[in-house]
Amino acid sequence: GNSVTQMEGPVTLSEEAFLTINCTYTATGYPSLFWYVQYPGEGLQLLLKATKADDKGSNKGFEATYRKETTSFHLEKGSVQVSDSAVYFCALRRGDSSYKLIFGSGTRLLVRP
Amino acid sequence: GAGVSQSPSNKVTEKGKDVELRCDPISGHTALYWYRQSLGQGLEFLIYFQGNSAPDKSGLPSDRFSAERTGGSVSTLTIQRTQQEDSAVYLCASSLAGLGRGYADTQYFGPGTRLTVL
């Protein structure tokens, strides 16, 4: 079946540290991949996306590259800020014109000053 | 412009009562989705609307759950005879279109309704 696996949190970093949150997926066909972020007390927001292999999604200093060979979509940021503290969700949407998002379990990031 | 809105933001109810959760999608968005976020199950898809019809209800956990959408806009998720395991955050999302728009049709989420069943 289709599924998304994320590294368990919480991930605790100091400000300006390098961030990696691992995400791997299992899917039939050619899925689209997404990272959503949920800030405290707020709803899910789309952070970035990639629709085909080798695409790189980027936004607000975050990046993720769609790696078909390793079925991965790891989220990275070179220098995190306190304001990046949130829960990050990796998700996929199957490539056969499906609409359903399948989410990972989420990874909580805490950035300390 | 206005995003997806949901009401109420919080709902506390007693076991056995019925509840209605409302979603107002982004204006012009024809596709609407309900998800549930719970501690034990993470984020789960519940139902998808294209216009007023629901071609996929596969995620509804039991026949106590139902949803409707009227006028291609507002949607209501109804849970009858609530149980404690229904406690969760219910998220609504909308997108410009569902099927047929390619693989990158972005879903925009509302802030959710936190349901607590005592």
A100–B contact, CB cutoff 8 A: yes
Residues 21-60 of chain A with CB under 8 A from chain B are: 30, 32, 36, 42-46, 49, 51
User: Does B50 score more than 90 pLDDT?
Assistant: no
Q: Nearest by CB to B103, which of A36, A93, A105?
A: A93
HSE at residue B77, side-chain half, CA atoms within 13 A, is 32
DSSP letter string, B40-101 = TTEEEEEEEEETTEEEE-TT--STTEEEEE-TTS-EEEEE-S--GGG-EEEEEEEES-STTS
- Give the tens place of pLDDT for each residue, B66-93: 999 988 899 999 999 999 999 999 999 9
Task: Give the SS3 label for residue A61.
Answer: coil
pLDDT band at B7 (very low <50, low <70, confident <90, very high): very high
pLDDT at B55: 76
* Of the partner residues B45, B103, B109, the one whose CB lies closest to the CB of residue A44: B109
Give B112 to chain A, closest Cα distance, Å: 6
Closest CA to A48 of A67, A68, A69, A33: A33
Q: Is the Cβ pair B106, A46 closer than 8 Å?
A: yes
Let me know: does B98 contact B48? Beta carbons within 8 Å.
Answer: yes
pLDDT score at A43: 84
Q: Look at residues A27, A40, A7, A15 and name the one whose alpha carbon lies nearest to residue A102.
A: A27
Cβ(A13)–Cβ(A99) below 8 Å: no
How is residue A103 written in tokens? 């989410």
The band of B57, judged by pLDDT with boundaries at 50, 70 and 90, is confident
For residue A10, whether the previous peptide bond is cis, meaning omega lies within 30 degrees of 0, is yes
- Res. A29 pLDDT band, cuts 50 70 90: confident
